[in-house]
Structures are given as C-alpha cells and as structure tokens.
Amino acid sequence: MNQSDLSTFRDFALVCASAAAAAIMPHFRQRMDIEDKGGSHGFDPVTVADRTAEQAIRALIETHHADHGIEGEEFGLVRADAKYRWVIDPIDGTKSFMAGLPGWGILIALLEDDLPVLGVMHQPFIGETFEGDGHHASYAGRLGRYRLRTSGCTSVEEAILTTTSPQLLGPAENIARFHAVESHVKLSRYGGDCYGYCMLAAGHIDLVIEAGLNRYDIAALIPIVEGAGGVVTDWSGGSALNGATVIAAATPALHSQAIALLEN
C-alpha cells in the first residue's frame, strides 16, 4: 500500500472512530440493560452502546468502501475474501465500560491481504487517540500530539507488566506461566484492556501478557505497538493476529526473556 492510500484510510478510520464515539458516549455512566453473551471465560457482556457503535462504523464502510471486508465483534464477518478488511471492536473493555471506568476504547484495524497495516484506538471520554501503521505510531489528545516510542526496557527484572485480569488467562497452566514471568518483574498491574498496549507503545508499560483474545481484540493494537518499536506475538513467538495467547514487549530482548519464562 502506498503512503497516499494509507493516509486516506487513516483519515477514514478516524472518521469511523468519531462516529462510534457519538454512538457510545450517550450511554457511558448511564444505567442500561446488560446482556450476557456467555462463552468460555464466563460473563461476557454486551450493551446497546457496543451494537450501535459497530453499526455506525459498518454503515460508513458500506457507504465509502463497499468492496472491503468487515469483521466485527457483534455482527460477524462479510466479504471474507476481500483484499482489504476492517476489523472492529466497538468497545474493547465492555466490563470496564459498564463499571463506569475509563479503561476501554474503540478499536479499528485495517488488514491488507490478512496483514494488519493500520490500527486506531480511540477513547472518547478521556479524549485520546493512539494510531499506528507498523512503522510509525502516534498519540493525539490532551497532552498534544507526538510520536509514540516504547521504553527500551531490555530486562524482565526492570519491567512493568500488565494483564487485564489473571482470571481471563484461561486454564491453570496459563495462569502459572503468567505468574512465572510476573515473579521476575519490577511491578505488575491489572486492568486496562486495550489501554495496556497503548501505554506500552507510549513507554509507560514494558510487557503485556494475555490469553483468550480474539482477532478483533488485538488486530488494531499490533500496528500501534510495532510502530512504536515494540514486539507482538503469541506465547510461542508466532503471529498474534488471530488472538488466543498474546505477549507484547517493549524490545526484542525483553520479549525473548519473557517468552523463555513462559515456556519453562
């Protein structure tokens, strides 16, 4: 993809994020009905805000890029064989959203030939946007606009680690593997959903380790973290695009150390 096309798609993704925000914000910190979708990780909530936000994004894609594929958390996949596919998580962190906490975000990714080439995370309540294309990543918000850079941390012992919740890591074996890394780090914090990856890209967190993710949970975050100089893979060092297990690290050296601890 040339830079002109990438810039056009970036601008369009930001328009989609704004449309989703307009659908979501009337519901934030308001009483609403919560539906449980169920699943392997227990309570899996969805709200009218999730659904109307995804519908708003889909409507824009259908109007302006009707030949593109769309894959969203709430309404599935259309045009799976398209060269370009938009991957949408209208509210990543619905549990935080329903609890009135600001650690959620709108995730929009663009895949080209099934590779993530653009990612946007927008948090409308705080007013922050993180974006990346795998080569560059940037922040825009109340702190201004600047390029994102990971911390450069190369030692597990000096690292700050986060995961949304150890309870979401799945079977006991996964939890034990996570704690094998956690026992070595300087500090660990829980919570944050997509914000953990954005804080890694911004240089404030050094490691994110999670499991049980889907493609729409991670696709937008890969080009943001990689664009800031970080590494994102599954726990075996392969592609993280399809979710399941994910590890993101500030540097290749830190990533290698964390992978080795996960594998022991």
In sequence order, what DSSP letters do the residues of the chain get, joined into one string? --HHHHHHHHHHHHHHHHHHHHHHGGGTTS----EE---TTS--EE-HHHHHHHHHHHHHHHHH-TTSEEEETTTEEE-TT-SEEEEEEEEETHHHHHTT-S--EEEEEEEETTEEEEEEEEETTTTEEEEE-SS-EEEEETTEEEE--------GGG-EEEES-GGGG-SHHHHHHHHHHHTTSSEEEE--THHHHHHHHTTS--EEEEEEE-HHHHTTHHHHHHHTT-EEE-TTSS--TT-EEEEEESSHHHHHHHHHHHH-
In this predicted structure, the answer to whether residue 60 has a pLDDT above a threshold of 90 is: yes
What CATH number is attached to the domain comprising 248? 3.40.190.80
CA distance 210 to 212: 7
Average pLDDT over residues 47-60: 96
pLDDT digit string (tens) for 186-238?
Answer: 999 999 899 999 999 999 999 999 999 999 999 999 999 999 999 999 999 99
pLDDT (0 to 100) of residue 213 = 95
Q: What is the CATH number of the domain that holds 16?
A: 3.30.540.10
Mean pLDDT of 98-108: 95
* Residue 161 pLDDT level (bands cut at 50, 70, 90): very high
Contacts of 238 (CB under 8 A, 6+ apart): none
Is 95 in the same domain as 203?
no
Residue 74 has pLDDT above 70, yes or no: yes
Last residue of a domain, one of 98, 115, 147: 147
In whole numbers, what is the pLDDT of the chain averaged over residues? 95
Instruction: Determine the average pLDDT of the residues in 101-122.
Output: 97
**Both structure tokens of 100:** 């009135």
Does 159 score more than 60 pLDDT? yes
Of the candidates 147, 170, 197, which is a domain's last residue? 147
Q: What is the average per-residue pLDDT within 121-127?
A: 97
Q: Are residues 132 and 227 in the same domain?
A: no
pLDDT at position 35 = 79
Q: How confident is the model at residue 42 (pLDDT cuts 50, 70, 90)?
A: low
Structure tokens at 71: 């894959």
244 has a pLDDT exceeding 70: yes
Query: What is the percent of the chain where pLDDT is above 90?
Result: 88
- pLDDT score, position 39: 61
Residues 7 and 83 in one domain: yes
Q: Are residues 207 and 169 located together in one domain of the fold?
A: yes
Name residue 65's amino acid: H
The amino acid occupying position 63 is T
Query: Counting every residue, how long is the chain?
Result: 264
Write down the pTM of the prediction.
0.95
State the average pLDDT over residues 118-127.
Answer: 98
pLDDT at 172 over 80: yes
Domain identity same for 127 and 256: no
Dihedral angle sign, alpha carbons of residues 133, 71, 104, 52: positive
pLDDT for the residue numbered 34: 79
Same domain as 140, residue 211: no
Are 10 and 130 in the same domain? Answer: yes
Residue 164's pLDDT is 95
Residue where one domain finishes, among candidates 89, 122, 147: 147
Domain that includes residue 37, residue range: 3-147
Q: Are residues 243 and 132 in the same domain?
A: no
Domain shared by 129 and 192, yes or no: no
At 40, the pLDDT band (50, 70, 90 cuts) reads low
Output the pLDDT for position 31. 86
Give the model's pLDDT for residue 4: 86
Closest among 106, 19, 24, 118 to 68, alpha carbons compared: 118
Residues 132 and 10 in one domain: yes
User: Strand pairing partners for 155?
Assistant: none
Do 20 and 140 belong together in one domain? yes
Are residues 180 and 78 both part of a single domain?
no
How many domains are there within the chain? 2
**pLDDT for 2 beyond 70:** yes
